[in-house]
A and B are shown apart, each in its own frame.
Chain A
Amino acid sequence: MTGTVTKTETLPIKDSSDVVFVRQRVRVWATEMKLSLVDQTKLVTAASELGRNTLEHGGGGQLEISEVVNGLRKGIKLTFSDKGPGIPDIKLALTDGYTSRQGMGLGLGGSKRLMNEFEIQSAPGEGTTVTVIRWK
């Protein structure tokens, strides 16, 4: 997760219309950075998955969108955080098809594939923070 943050925006995630707004704002940032259409689509799709997790598994939280710079590279970093129940077994949670509720179990594993960098910090009772970067 290396890179200097140059600007940020924070959005609340409290209900399913906030997840729609998250997708729209991430799209705006991705367009402003002139990511390719495929990269924009990957970033917005991952944002939708992770935002839904923050809402449904984390009980709500927030997203911080930032522009990061590392030497000549620029990218968009998304940090989803909540103070929910946390993830007891991160490896299991990342397994395709694993869901503790009735999801598809593709949000975490899929987002990891769609992004260039992916990190989960979580402990039972301490909430969850998922940070991803898509480099230009």
Chain B
Amino acid sequence: MERIPILRMGNFLLVTIQVDMHDKLALTLQDDLTSKIADVGAKGVLIDISSLEIVDSFIGRTLANIASMARVLDAQTVVVGMQPAVAITLVELGMSLPGIRTALNVESGMQYLHETVTSDRDSEEYDGDSD
């Protein structure tokens, strides 16, 4: 079965979507990512969509689902590289991608994940102290 590869880098999972996904492939990615987050205890997920020429309501919803499932599993998600024409079209379509963090490129997405995960850890320690 066709699958989109998921790379692991320490606490983070990285996915680069390079194909025009049919709906079942998008659902497989959603399932694979969710189980992988749980398996490896990932703290961050970065999804690079710079090769995607469109994002329709199905792909938009898949991205939103991934982000909310990741959140339940205590991981942050950032979607990077959305092309300007895609962003313009998404807004007109009516998809606002609620709850999805976006960044311009992989570098700033990684920076965001590092910062959030580090500050999460700090606040956990703080909670621990106050107990």
Contact = CB atoms under 8 A, between A and B. Distances in A.
Interface stretch (A4-12, A108-116, A124-132): A108-116
A45 B95 CA distance: 12
B94 interface: yes
Interface in B1-37: 20-24
Contacts of B23: 16, 19, 52
Q: Which 10 pairs of residues, A with B, have the shortest CB-CB distance? A: A110-B93, A104-B57, A41-B85, A16-B22, A48-B56, A106-B57, A16-B23, A38-B85, A106-B94, A45-B54
A28 interface: no
B53 A41 contact: yes
A27 interface: yes
Interface of B: 20-24, 53-58, 60-61, 83, 85-86, 88-89, 92-95
Interface size class of A (residues with CB under 8 A): 20 to 34
Interface in A31-47: 37-38, 40-42, 44-45
B89 A42 contact: yes
Contact of A41 (B21, B54, B95): B54
B57 A107 contact: yes
Contacts of B94: 96, 106, 109-110, 113
A93 to B, nearest CB: 14
B20 A41 contact: no
A49 interface: yes
Interface string A69-90: 0000000000000000000000
A27 B20 CA distance: 12
Interface of A: 16-17, 19-20, 23-24, 27, 37-38, 40-42, 44-45, 48-49, 52, 96, 103-104, 106-107, 109-111, 113-114
B54 A110 contact: no
Contacts of A107: 57
B89 A114 contact: yes
B85 A110 contact: no
A103 B92 CA distance: 17
Contact of A104 (B21, B22, B54, B61): B61
Contacts of A16: 22-24
Contacts of A17: 22
Contacts of B85: 37-38, 40-41
